[in-house]
Structure 1
Amino acid sequence: MTDAQALPAPPVAAKRPLSRTHHGDTFDDPYEWLRAKDEAEVIGHLEAENAYTDERTAHLAALREQIFQEIKGRTLETDLSVPSRRGSWWYYGRTVEGSQYGIQCRAPLASPDDWTPPELAPGEPVPGEQVLLDGNIEAEGLDFFSLGSFEISNDGDRMLYGVDLAGDERYTVRVRDLTTGENLADEIPGTFAGASFSPDGRFIVYTTVDDAWRPDTVWLHEIGTPVEDDVKLFTEPDERFWVGADFTRSDRYLIIDVGSSVTSEEWIVDAADLRSEPRVVWPRSEGVEYSASDAVVDGEDVLYILHNDGALDFELVRVAASAPQGERSVVIPHRPGQRLLGVDTFRDWGIVGYRRGGLPRLGMLDYADGAVREIEFDEPLYSVGAGGNPEWAPPLLRVGFGSFVTPGTVFDYEVATGELLLRKRQPVLGGYDADDYAQARVWATAQDGTEVPISLVWKRSFGDAGATPRALHLYGYGSYEHSIEPGFSVARLSALDRGVIFAVAHVRGGGEMGRQWYEDGKTLAKRNTFTDFVDCAQHLIDAGYTTADRMVAEGGSAGGLLMGAVANLAPELFAGILADVPFVDALTSILDPSLPLTVIEWDEWGDPLHDPEVYAYMKTYSPYENVRADVQYPRILAVTSLNDTRVLYVEPAKWVARLREVGADALLKCEMVAGHGGVTGRYNSWRERAFELAWLLDVLGVADAA
């Protein structure tokens, strides 16, 4: 619809007088009443917003269905993951055509010396297969189903699983006897994700949250005893810190992690005596982050500790496990610009993850001399990581690899020879050929002279990117030192095949270029994140990749804050903005310590409640407060979920109401049974993404292209 007179009237949220005053500044907030989630009027307004969005996008129904069918048609619906060995079994997941959820399975090893995963054919019977958990059965009759914990005991006889049925990320843990298939009487409600068995299988270690949804307490549950008798192993009173717990791969220790955005502390408990007093590895020191992993080197129990104490991009040291605060032996020294990300220890060697040149890297760590042997890949842009390695002493390392053009690939790295053994590449049906697509990295110059990387992918048949201006989809995030890696997406092909260039602006606040990149995009430097994105968009226009009327920006969560900020800063650069679960009422949320996660977030954004400088600074960029009446906004689609505990639905609801006041064409889509990650079930998720892509393609003017 291009005729404004033909558009239906949008919902109009009532304006109710309410103001807040901090540090001598008063802000009028007439839409704050929308926070009352349980009020019928609020639900009615959200339902009216959904109805309006449905009406405004009704003309895209055929395109949505086409994109959904494209995603579905490119996906091998009946498929299996590459099995991972643990104990006497190969563990894997499989999917079945027509089923929403995955099925967790296992099959017995052929022999104790078998380290080559079986080549299982999708849809064919697997010899000795045992179905452990069928998500489709568990989710039958439910609108929402999310698995937050899943683990098998070391002896293979029991399974624990934690389920969220609302989207609020509070899980009920249950235990199943795998010899009988029956659930035990044990049932632990209200847990956080990530419960685990003790090595002997007698206990479950789990975490609970406080009223602000902060994981704050670690508990020990003895299987077969009442939950009321569970033992509190550790609790953290400081509201800035999260708590988690897991056993080391060696099964010798339980490590309790305590961390904020800038400070961490770890406590060790002997796995053979879980009721013993935890002992601290290093006492917390403001601004110092570290993580420990155990090994045995030359007969000595040691901890490898990755830390940033005087080392901005981190260094790796080794200490005695019996005296971790004693002498440190430097294994990998601090190298500015090479950000050490993590170390994972096995019996005979370790694996180190790090970033260099804007890309993730993996290296094998030799315990004897501390040498790191990098695992090399031959693509200019890629993502890589180690995963699916539960065994303590394997001869192989499981590695996941992918890029914008290479579908997700699983290798086993043979440690003795350095050979990468291809186990599986994600099938992409319909004749996909990676050579039909190209990827590249270009650089934009920010206002302060900083060079900001931009990753690009496009289909070659439409010509080289930059040869002529084309429709372009620009994605950004830029918070929490989180890096947006060059990864493959089946859904993205629906845009690329219509001539759209996909780009990622790796703005400051993320972690792509090292720790300083993050520091330069947080707290009182946060505006760099937004201006970097604007500068990247301007560069893509100036360099001939696109034009302002053919570019759509997208970001989610903290990236949704980015979207709201750039909409206010440079609305003229974009035809549309897609904001997923957007953090657009940031100042209101960060001022209220009673809201989920607020106090924890002060390390990322600053504390506007107690610091007038932070308050004034955040008020300059928080999207809701800075909606402008003197500009024409691009088309905006905000997507949220009623039960989201991380970014509350009220933020985009208020933002859209305010945007409408100034004449913006803004739509709100609120999933009424979902959480921060949106809907569950793969077909539901595909339809959700098809909805967003159809809107995006319509804004870009390529909805009819094929």
Structure 2
Amino acid sequence: MDKTTVTPFSHLTRKPPVAEPRPTSRTVHGVRLEDSYAWLRAKNWQEVIENPKAVPVEIGAYLKRENAFTAEALRPLEDLQKGLIAEMRGRIREDESEPPIRDGAYLYYERFRKRQQYPVFCRKPVDSKREEVLLDGPKEARAFDYFDIGAVLPSPNHALMAWAADTTGAESYVIRIRDLATGKDSDKLSRTSGEVVWGRDNTFFYYIELDKSQRPYRVMRHKLGDRQAADVEIFREVDTGWFVSLDCTQDDRYGFISVHDHETSEVLLLDLDDPSEVPAPIFPRVQGIEYDIEHHAGNLIIRTNHGGEAGFKAPDFRIVSLPVGQTDITKALLLVPETPGRVLESLNVLEDWLIWSDLGEDGPRIRVRNWTSGEDQVFAPRAAVGDISGMVGLEYVSDTLRLCFSSPTEPEMTLDRNLRTGEETILKVQEVPSGHDASLYRVERVFAPSHDGVMVPVTILSRKDTPRDGTAPALLYGYGSYGHALEADFETERLSLVDRGFVYVLAHVRGGMEKGFGWYRDGKREKKVNTFLDFIAVADFLVAEKYAAPKRIVANGVSAGGMLMGAIANMAGEKFAGIVAEVPFVDSLNTILDPTLPLTPPEWVEWGNPIEDKATFDTMLGYSPYDNIAAKHYPPMLVTGGLSDPRVTYWEPAKFVAKLRATMTGGGPILLHTNMGAGHGGASGRFEQLADIARVFAFAMEVTGTVPEAQV
């Protein structure tokens, strides 16, 4: 029997839940907006994010009915999902450990125990093999359904450790201080971002509190032994469109507060020797100017898009140097000029080395310069289509750069490179216990013409024995927002689809930074539609070039990529066998019109402010997935959400599904699965996460007719 002719989910006779329409309306910029499902947003939504059990009975019951319907739809695929989970788990070394990082007299590292979901944080003295377990993740997680570890940061004298955990998925962390000699905890601090910067005398630290909308908004100083109520406010950001974060320079001389939205930033220095210091900004806040800092020999080393002269910008960023205390950036010394089309992404500093990374059309690079000689070194991926990342460790006086290399076909290799001698020490090669032969696979980087002739980069992973004859199914993944670039790295779970004849495709659409800052700029605000049209163009390209069969492509996106899924469902749903929208930002216009929601004010920079600007309103009204659902045929869709998600609130996918079912004239089914005990990232345990992936893959196989007969 030809599985491609079988109607997906043909066994499903149960009717989907029906959300009662309760029409409401309002007028914005002279346009009447109708919303029949606004009631799915709980009046106590802030409480629900912090405590999912507080969800109103009616809403909770509705979401559970949706989950039951989805479970029924996927019931014939249960064996397939179990098989996928076992297969993906078989590619994970269960007792995996990370190479240690030296900090003073200790080597710090994390490892897993077999069959355990969470890591164990450990250290050993440099001159001994005696292991100390500092934080036992499985033990700490025992009482919780959800458990995510934030900071795990020893004090400068290595006698104490600050550690943070989120136990709801709301990204609200509790910080505790552990005495590493006794293993006992003290100083419980709630509603924090999970970030910590220690003072150098080990008696105090800085952390960030969240406001009632889950925004990290103020920096607090905590003296060990004090109650949280006695903590001192160091800095408060009153603009609800800005976030606050904390870090320290590599030499531990300064802490710094970074205040930012998506296109402007400000940095304030903290003297870690002086707990009474009042932080001051390095430069005044200027709209559209971003910068971050490091410290070297009395100078601030600054990565910035400031062009060096008033009114000029360097969109792809450059690196400059300025003495500490100097506030006129026009007097800065240029260290690394801007390279148009290659965005300078990160900056690190060691005593003898300046290190930065950049990204452009030909992939990522890591670059190193000796402070004394000025000699440069350049490191690139070791595969034609691949990825590279680097880290400098915890020490400032060091010649070691840790590098990681991988590609879609090749497992990750981690090595330490001595920047002075060139010697390389391989620390780890990612193990695939069930076996992996890279020679069986191929990866290609091709370019698809979009609607305006712009060429969109596309990464394609397949088995070499998968014919390029227009018959293969494909999973096409996209994101295209916030300048986030999709990496051509090794992800073992993809092999479960590829080994079943799928082509796995990454669409590097506009809105990311794969081709520099301009690529990002051309996929945001008034140009956002380019993101959607690029994705559709890549789907057409796959068919035209016979990488995939017509209507056997499954589209997949997460978060803002889920908004992309909603948009392409409305614009060109007929081109896809199915669409998977995970925690999707699909009620885009209503969310951005509501300044009381957690992320709305910060998002105005990314999408525009439709409250004040009619042009932005009109643009968003033209693509907002919820507002553009039409009376037409839609493909099968799997939509997911998280009840405690503070980023994309649970009611966005719920409303989208309810309206879609009530409006569409045929097609489907439309399935909604809400994780009732997790947030934006889904399940927290490393094996629990495999169930979420298996659900997506089983759906993709069902809608493309590739489920084996024995597993139907």
Fold shared per TM-score above 0.5? yes
Task: Name the SS of the counterpart of 1:548 in structure 2.
Answer: coil
Q: Secondary structure at the match of 1:482?
A: coil
Q: Distance in 2 between matches of 1:373 and 1:573?
A: 46
**Cα distance in 1, alignment partners of residues 231 and 162 from structure 2:** 16
Counterpart position of 1:307: 304
Give the aligned residue type for 1:106.
Answer: R
Structure-2 residue corresponding to 1:216 = 217
User: Where does residue 688 of structure 1 map in the other structure?
Assistant: 692
Task: Give the alignment partner of residue 76 of structure 1, picking from 88, 93, 110.
Answer: 93
Q: Distance in 1 between matches of 2:417 and 2:580?
A: 39
Q: CA deviation at 1:358?
A: 4.2
Amino acid of the residue matched to residue 323 of structure 1?
A: Q
Tell whether the 8 Å contact from 1:458 to 1:501 is kept in structure 2 after alignment. yes
Q: Supply the distance in 1 between the matched residues of 2:324 and 2:374 (Cα, whole angstroms).
A: 18
Q: Tell whether the 8 Å contact from 1:314 to 1:339 is kept in structure 2 after alignment.
A: yes
Distance change >3 Å, CA 496–CA 570, structure 1 → 2:
same
Q: 1:30 matched to which residue of 2?
A: 36
Q: Structure 2: how far apart are the matches of 1:369 and 1:283?
A: 34
Matches within 5 A, 1:35-184: 35-36=41-42, 38-110=55-127, 127-184=129-186
2:92/2:432 contact within 8 Å kept: yes
Q: How does 1:336-375 map to 2 (within 5 A)?
A: 336-368=340-372, 370-375=374-379
Q: 1:467 Cα shift?
A: 4.2
Residue 634 of structure 1 pairs with residue 635 of structure 2 = yes
Distance 1:3-1:581 versus aligned 2 partners, 3 A rule = closer
2:386 corresponds to: 382
- 3-state SS of 2:302 partner: strand
Residues 530-679 of structure 1 mapped to structure 2, 5 A cutoff: 530-630=532-632, 632-661=633-662, 662=664, 663=666, 664-679=668-683
C-alpha distance in structure 1 between counterparts of 2:543 and 2:470, whole Å: 11
Q: In 2, are the aligned partners of 1:384 and 1:401 still within 8 Å (CA)?
A: yes
- The answer as to whether partners of 1:332 and 1:370 remain within 8 angstroms in 2 is no
Return 586-595 or 82-91, whichever deviates more. 82-91
Residue 278 of structure 1 aligns with which residue? 279
Offset of residue 317 of structure 1: 0.8
Describe the SS at the equivalent of 2:315. Answer: coil
Counterpart secondary structure, 2:518: helix
Q: Deviations for 1:323-351, whole angstroms, at most 9, x for unmatched residues?
A: 24262111111221121112101111121
Kept in 1: contact 2:609–2:617 (CA 8 A): yes
| 1:317 corresponds to 2:320 | yes
Tell me the distance in 1 between the aligned counterparts of 2:350 and 2:458.
Answer: 36
| 1:201 positional shift | 1.7
Contact 1:477 1:510 in 2 (8 A): yes
Which structure carries more relative contact order (alpha carbon 8 Å, separation 6+)? 2
In 2: Cα distance, 1:610 partner to 1:657 partner: 29
* Aligned position for 2:704: 700
For the residue of structure 2 that corresponds to 1:487, the secondary structure is: coil
Query: Residue in 2 aligned with 1:122?
Result: none
Mean Cα displacement is larger for which, 347-356 or 550-559?
347-356
Distance 2:598 2:104 in 1: 39
Q: CA deviation at 1:639?
A: 1.1
| C-alpha spacing 1:198/1:402, structure 2 compared with 1 (3 Å) | farther
Please state how far the C-alpha of 1:610 moved relative to its aligned partner.
Answer: 1.1
Task: Output the CA distance in 2 between the equivalents of 1:23 and 1:384.
Answer: 48
1:183 to partner: Cα distance: 1.2
Q: Which runs of 5+ in 1 are unaligned?
A: 112-126
The residue correspondences of 1:397-416 to structure 2 (distance < 5 A) are 397-416=401-420
More moved, 58-67 vs 687-696: 687-696
Q: Is the 8 A contact 1:293 1:344 kept in 2?
A: yes
Aligned to 1:120: none
Per the alignment, do residues 642 and 388 of structure 1 end up closer, same or farther by CA in structure 2, a change over 3 Å counting?
farther
Could you give the per-residue CA deviations for residues 88-122 of structure 1, whole angstroms, max 9, x where no partner exists?
A: 111111111111111111111028xxxxxxxxxxx
Aligned residue type for 2:586: V
- The question of whether the paired residues in 1 share the 8 Å contact of 2:12 and 2:73 is answered with no
- Give the letter aligned to residue 394 of structure 1: S
* % same residue: 38
Relative distance call for 1:431 and 1:4 in structure 2 (3 A) is closer
Distance 1:417 1:479 in 2: 40
Aligned counterpart, 2:227 = 226
Amino acid at match of 1:620: G
Asked if structure 1 preserves the Cα contact closer than 8 Å seen for 2:198 and 2:272, the reply is no
C-alpha separation in 2, matches of 1:370 and 1:596? 46
Aligned pairs for 1:519-530 (under 5 A) are 519-530=521-532
Q: Distance in 2 between matches of 1:87 and 1:373?
A: 27
C-alpha contact 2:381 2:406 (8 A) present in aligned 1 = no
Higher mean displacement: 384-393 or 39-48: 384-393
Please name the residue that 1:121 is paired with: none
Deviation at 1:51, TM superposition (A): 0.3
Secondary structure at the aligned position of 1:64 is classed as: helix
Judge which range, 648-657 or 134-143, deviates more: 134-143
Task: Indicate the SS of the match to 1:549.
Answer: coil
Distance 2:328 2:65 in 1: 60
Deviation at 1:226, TM superposition (A): 2.1
Match of 1:501 in 2: 503
320-329 vs 88-97, greater mean Cα deviation = 320-329
Instruction: Quote the offset at 1:385 in angstroms.
Output: 1.6
Deviates more, 1:442-451 or 1:414-423: 414-423
**Residue 401 of structure 1: how far off its partner (Å):** 2.1
Q: Does the 8 A contact of 2:381 with 2:388 survive in 1? A: no
Q: Deviations over 1:159-190 (max 9, x none)?
A: 11111111111111111100111112x11111
Partner of 2:48: none
Q: Is the 8 A contact 2:9 2:73 kept in 1?
A: no
Structure 2: gaps (5+ residues): 1-6, 46-54, 307-312
Q: Which amino acid aligns with 1:362?
A: I
Q: Residue 311 of structure 1 aligns to which amino acid in structure 2? A: A
Counterpart of 2:606 in 1: which secondary structure?
Answer: helix
Of 652-661 and 393-402, more deviation after overlay is shown by: 393-402
1:18-49 CA-to-partner distances (Å, cap 9, x unmatched) read: 11221111111001100115321110100000
What's the secondary structure of 1:308's corresponding residue?
Answer: strand
Q: Distance in 1 between matches of 2:511 and 2:350?
A: 32
Cα shift readout 1:341-383 (whole Å, capped 9, x = no counterpart): 1210111112111113241110112223655321134311122
Counterpart in the other structure of 2:50:
none
- 1:164 and 1:66 mapped to 2: Cα distance? 31
Partners of 2:256 and 2:362 in 1: CA distance: 31
Residue 119 of structure 1 is matched in structure 2 by none
Distance 1:402 1:375 in 2: 13
The answer to whether structure 1 residue 9 and structure 2 residue 12 are counterparts is no
Q: Give the conservation status (yes or no) of the 8 Å contact 1:198–1:247.
A: no
Aligned residues: 683
The one-letter amino acid of 1:194's match is E
Q: Secondary structure at the match of 1:294?
A: strand
**Partner Cα distance (1:3, 1:409) in 2:** 41
Matched residue of 2:566: which SS?
A: helix
Say what the alpha-carbon RMSD is for the aligned residues: 1.6
Question: Which residue number in structure 2 is paired with residue 248 of structure 1?
Answer: 249
> What is the aligned partner in structure 2 of residue 461 from structure 1?
465
The secondary structure found in structure 2 opposite 1:698 is helix
Instruction: State TM-score, norm by structure 2.
Output: 0.94
Counterpart-to-counterpart distance in 2, 1:454 and 1:2: 28
Shift of 1:153: 1.1
**Is the Cα–Cα contact under 8 Å of residues 470 and 550 in structure 2 kept in the other structure?**
no
TM-score when normalising by structure 1: 0.94
Paired amino acid for 2:222 = H
Q: CA deviation at 1:225?
A: 1.7
Deviation at 1:431, TM superposition (A): 2.3
